[in-house]
Amino acid sequence: MDENAHIIHNGADDNASGVAGMLETARNLKKNPIGSTVLAVAFTAEETGLGGSGHLVKNFPLDISKVRMMLNLDMVGRLSEKNEFTVLGCKSATEFSDIVNRAAVGTDLTITCKGDGYGPSDHMNFYLADKPVLFFFTGAHADYHKSTDDANLINYKGEVKITQLAINTLREIDAFNNPLTFVKTAEPPDQGGGSFRVYFGSIPDYSQPDSLLGVLLSGTREGGPAATAGIKGGDLLVRMGKVTLNNIYDFVFALRTYAPGDTVDVEYIREGKHELTNVALKAPPEKH
């Protein structure tokens, strides 16, 4: 959370980048229509428990049984210079990997297609309603939720490529005549909405390999509990108190289990060595 809480936060990547990608995708499809109906939706209340998308799923204006899939653009403005892009949710439909890889032809993107439909963004409500989902996300960074998340840091050429991938993906799905084969995995320990009970101050690396057990961090918040305890980007969290951290869902469970003021021992791996530190958990910062 930004220490400068009372200055303007433009949110260029989170999530002006996603809104821009959605609008450009909609513009393209209007100009060159496909056979399928496409709803372009900008959700509110994502930060407070996926409220907007949850309301839509429960009060869908059309027959939700006919929805084939949901494509989520959430923070797509920081593509790496290597043009490496991880598409999450690919395991929520058997056909997604082939579809996305065909859609990537000509975009100059190197695609990694992985992951089920769980995750901290609006696609998860559709996945919980048994709909295949894809999550386009270029990754968390040190400017996340800070006033420094501004337009000068956006990779505009990269976002053009990701938007083209979105357009191509929807066209590929439209051309796929058979129903997508939905795949439901086991639910995470706690799928309930709402904010975490405690603030840890870390930035998970959501592109970590499926085979890697633990929670890989891309960074920590300056002055947050994790940073104060010496945890930093590149560390692999493997245990938080009594909770073994095999994946991000275990981490979410831990953040909803402990209370502000608790001090927990956190085990992590740094450069191949197991380290142990005590982290004093805080209440989540108030939103301004």
The 3-state secondary structure of 147-168, one letter per residue: CCCCHHHCCHHHHHHHHHHHHH
Instruction: Please give the chain's pLDDT, 288 residues, in tens.
Output: 445 668 899 999 999 999 999 999 999 999 999 999 999 999 998 766 678 998 999 999 999 999 999 999 999 999 999 999 989 999 999 999 999 999 999 999 999 998 888 777 899 889 989 999 999 999 877 787 789 999 999 999 999 999 999 999 999 999 999 999 999 875 544 433 345 678 999 988 877 887 899 999 988 988 999 999 999 999 999 999 878 898 888 898 788 778 888 899 999 999 999 999 999 999 887 654
Look-up: residue for tokens 């056909």?
A: 95
Give pLDDT, residue 4: 62
Give pLDDT, residue 193: 39
CATH fourth-level superfamily of 12-175: Zn peptidases (3.40.630.10)
Assigned fold of 202-280: Pdz3 Domain (2.30.42)
Single pTM value for the model? 0.72
* 12-175 and 202-280: identical CATH topology: no
Amino acid at 101: N
Residue 282: which of 226, 218, 235 has the closest Cα?
Answer: 226
Structural contact between residues 84 and 137, judged by C-beta atoms closer than 8 angstroms: no
> Which pair of tokens denotes residue 158?
């990269």
CA–CA distance, 133 with 93 (Å, rounded to integer): 8
Residue 125: which of 196, 70, 184, 48 has the closest Cα?
Answer: 70
Give pLDDT, residue 48: 64
**How deeply is 14 buried, as exposed, middle or buried, from its count of CB atoms within 10 A (0-12, 13-18, 19+)?**
buried
Cα Rg of the chain, angstroms: 19
Structural contact between residues 166 and 173, judged by C-beta atoms closer than 8 angstroms: no
What are the boundaries of each domain within the chain?
A: 12-175, 202-280
